[in-house]
Amino acid sequence: MNKSVLVMFLLLLSCGGNDKADQKDDIKDTNFSLEKITSLTQGTLYSSELVDKETSEYGYIKFENQPEIVVNGVMVTPQYRYFTYSHSRFGSGNISAPKWETTFNIDTATKNLISFKTFVSRSGMGPTINCVSSSPYHLPTQVKLGDNDSIPSFTCDNNINLAQGSWRTENAGDGKLNFIIRTQTIDTSSSVIDETTTYTIDTAGNILSLQINKLKSFTD
């Protein structure tokens, strides 16, 4: 084969490969389902060990939909979230690790988050807050790259107010999307703290990994 023809063939082959890679990361017009995040189907939605590889802190998170109940005359689906972290994966130090246990009361008909209760404990002791949303709101059923919105603030007992939150989407690469939620909660001393949860999802809405603040799914 002529050298110039060979070079041209290789260039065309190379360009073709790059086009495929670019197409895979070009998700700006792609719809991503949030079904696995917003589902009210009873049972475990997601659970995973977490790790911060820089600090070697370990954690665990679990989301679980519980049987429907009536709260203030409204049929709701309680969504329970358990989250904890410590400086070691195993050992006695985990006994005193902080734990966040939150039950979100979600209107089954509208999927609006009405209220929630959070118990933050260390060795079984800690504050509890009951919070009510300032306005009706629920996450969309699907999102695209670049979408964003604000989340209502919450008024809680014990003179605690949680500021307005937000969510946004970012390209996670390889045809995936990061769905990022920024909210507030409290720590074991009842101080208000920020919390950022990042879901990496595919177009079907499957949760491929989760990161809460700097703690990320252990398998990543």
Q: Note whether 11 and 68 are same-domain residues.
A: no
Identity of the residue numbered 25: D
Q: Note whether 5 and 71 are same-domain residues.
A: no
pLDDT tens column, 67-102? 999 999 999 999 999 999 887 776 555 667 899 999
What range defines the domain where residue 154 resides?
31-217
Written as six digits, the tokens of 154 are 């919450």
pLDDT tens column, 2-28? 555 444 444 444 555 555 445 556 898
Q: Note whether 138 and 44 are same-domain residues.
A: yes
How many structural domains comprise the chain? 2
Q: Note whether 89 and 17 are same-domain residues.
A: no
pTM metric for this prediction:
0.85
Q: Note whether 106 and 137 are same-domain residues.
A: yes
List strand residue ranges (DSSP E) for the chain, in order: 32-33, 43-52, 57-65, 69-71, 74-86, 99-107, 113-121, 128-133, 142-143, 148-151, 154-156, 160-162, 165-173, 176-186, 192-201, 207-212, 215-217
Contact, 151 vs 33, CB < 8 A?
no
Q: Note whether 20 and 35 are same-domain residues.
A: no
Q: Note whether 54 and 81 are same-domain residues.
A: yes
Percentage of residues of the chain with pLDDT beyond 90: 76
